[in-house]
């Protein structure tokens, strides 16, 4: 079940990124749909804007972090980022970045602590909750991961990606009726997402609701024609 959960979560997790660069993903980014990509671009743009408000010395260190990561030197990037955190202990973005670095290295306990610190400093960063829930799921702590998604959807009740994450946790906990309800909330929320509709269809299919699954896949393809993930699922449905 955890392996399947990771596949559903990959589109939410930001397990590697440069503070001022494009996010990378634990899985093939080609499976992300337009809605997720737009949300990630928006967050990346917002991060860049926040970085522009940092003191010049901190901005210079951020550039050094980016350079270190471009050469594959994560150890140096972490050393510089930890120094940034000491200089600006109230900077939630630096804590979040350090958590992602720890997560990349498989240090999920350390990552989780940093994500919690980031949320405490800035509870309005949606992606910090996403990363925290992902780290909890990686540790097989699904009940607390679910609680994190519930905090996320309570704070951002109109965000479809939060409900998608919550539904995936409920599904992993073998609570399919509640997962369906959360997926349906995700479908009603914004942004509209072909990936979320596909996730809903996949659960409906597993529950034997093949006709409903077909409708969900078809709705996903109306929203994003040619979306390969959905086309594969629809093509494999029994006729």
- What is the mean pLDDT, run by run of 10 residues, along the chain of 239 residues? 42 40 41 91 92 94 92 93 97 95 91 97 96 92 97 98 95 96 98 96 97 98 97 94
CA 229 to the chain's CA centroid: 18
Average pLDDT value for the chain: 88
Q: Specify burial of residue 70 (Cβ count, 10 A radius: 0-12, 13-18, 19+).
A: exposed
Q: Residue 20, SS3? A: coil
Going from N- to C-terminal start, the domains of the chain cover: 2-139
**CATH homologous superfamily of domain 2-139?**
Tetratricopeptide repeat domain (1.25.40.10)
Taking only the tens place, the pLDDT of each residue in 21-39 is 433 333 346 678 999 999 9
pLDDT reported for residue 239: 81
The secondary element (H helix, E strand) that includes residue 6 is helix 2-9
Q: What's the pTM?
A: 0.89
For residue 237, the 8-state DSSP code is S
């Amino acid at each position: 079940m955890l392996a399947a959960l990771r596949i559903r979560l990959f589109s939410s997790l930001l397990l590697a990124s440069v503070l001022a660069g494009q996010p990378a993903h634990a899985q093939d980014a080609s499976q992300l749909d337009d809605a997720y990509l737009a949300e990630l671009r928006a967050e990346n743009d917002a991060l860049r804007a926040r970085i522009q408000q940092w003191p010049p010395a901190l901005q210079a260190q951020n550039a050094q972090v980016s350079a270190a990561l471009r050469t594959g030197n994560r150890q140096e990037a972490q050393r510089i980022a930890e120094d940034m955190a000491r200089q600006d202990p109230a900077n939630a973005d630096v804590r979040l970045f350090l958590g992602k670095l720890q997560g990349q290295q498989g240090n999920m306990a350390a990552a989780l602590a940093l994500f919690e610190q980031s949320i405490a400093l800035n509870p309005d960063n949606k992606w910090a909750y996403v990363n925290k829930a992902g780290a909890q799921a990686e540790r097989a702590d699904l009940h607390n991961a679910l609680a994190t998604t519930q905090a996320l959807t309570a704070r951002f009740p109109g965000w479809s990606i939060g409900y998608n994450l919550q539904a995936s946790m409920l599904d992993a906990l073998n609570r399919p009726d509640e997962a369906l309800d959360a997926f349906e909330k995700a479908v009603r929320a914004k942004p509209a997402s072909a990936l979320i509709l596909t996730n809903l269809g996949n659960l409906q299919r597993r529950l034997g609701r093949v006709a409903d699954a077909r409708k969900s896949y078809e709705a996903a393809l109306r929203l994003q024609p040619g979306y390969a993930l959905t086309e594969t699922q629809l093509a494999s449905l029994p006729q």
